[in-house]
Amino acid sequence: MARQTIRSEGNKAEVEFLKLVDGARLSDNPRRGDVIVPVDGKDFYVEIKECHAKPSGTGTINQVRPIKYICCVIWAPKHGYWYVLSPDQLVRFAAEKKRGQHTEIPFECMNFSLSSLDEEYHTKCKGKNLAKVVVEAVRRGETHASLRALMNDAFQEIRAMSEKYKQAVKEHRV
């Protein structure tokens, strides 16, 4: 069987998530997140990842983007748990990394293993508690407006730098 595209790798996890979190629905904009969760009358995007490593394995989670400042939820069925990272926890975890995945900037894109995920950076729960934990993670992220603003600034700087160097390359003559 051919390998699934990266975009569709989390589909089973998304289906399970939608079964467990009331009011959650598939994203209307996959670039912003995989699902939308209503919290306190407002919609929030959430990134859903899937890990099928055994509890004794490392279980690498790829292409996580802390710069979006959204919750990241990992379904690890062989562990019997969901791992929920609030936006602020994810950003703080990224700040501990030396570099990102395919980039020097870990906030832009990073990977990590479940075994490297310290307790301070996530909440582990069973499916029956997932909805409650996700709502708490969203609310927690909302209390750190300065981190959200910092990630927005970082995103704007990265875009500006990209445009600057694209233009410089176009103007470069040999």
| Average pLDDT, integer, range 70-94 | 97
pLDDT at 134: 98
Residue 13's domain comprises 6-171
pLDDT at 18 over 70: yes
Three-state DSSP class for residue 1: coil
CATH number at residue 154: 3.40.1350
The answer to whether residue 66 sits within a structural domain is: yes
The answer to whether residue 1 sits within a structural domain is: no
User: Greater confidence, 116 or 43?
Assistant: 43
**How many domains does the structure of the chain reveal?**
1
Q: Residue 9, class by beta-carbon neighbours within 10 Å (0-12 exposed, 13-18 middle, 19+ buried)?
A: middle
Enumerate residues 6+ apart whose C-beta is below 8 A from 163.
none
pLDDT at 126 over 60: yes
DSSP β-ladder status, 71-76 and 42-50:
parallel
Provide Rg for the chain, Cα atoms. Answer: 17
pLDDT at 6: 43
Distance CA 103, CA 63 (A): 11
Please state which of the ranges 8-12, 26-30, 58-62, 168-172 shows the lowest mean pLDDT.
8-12
The answer to whether residue 16 sits within a structural domain is: yes
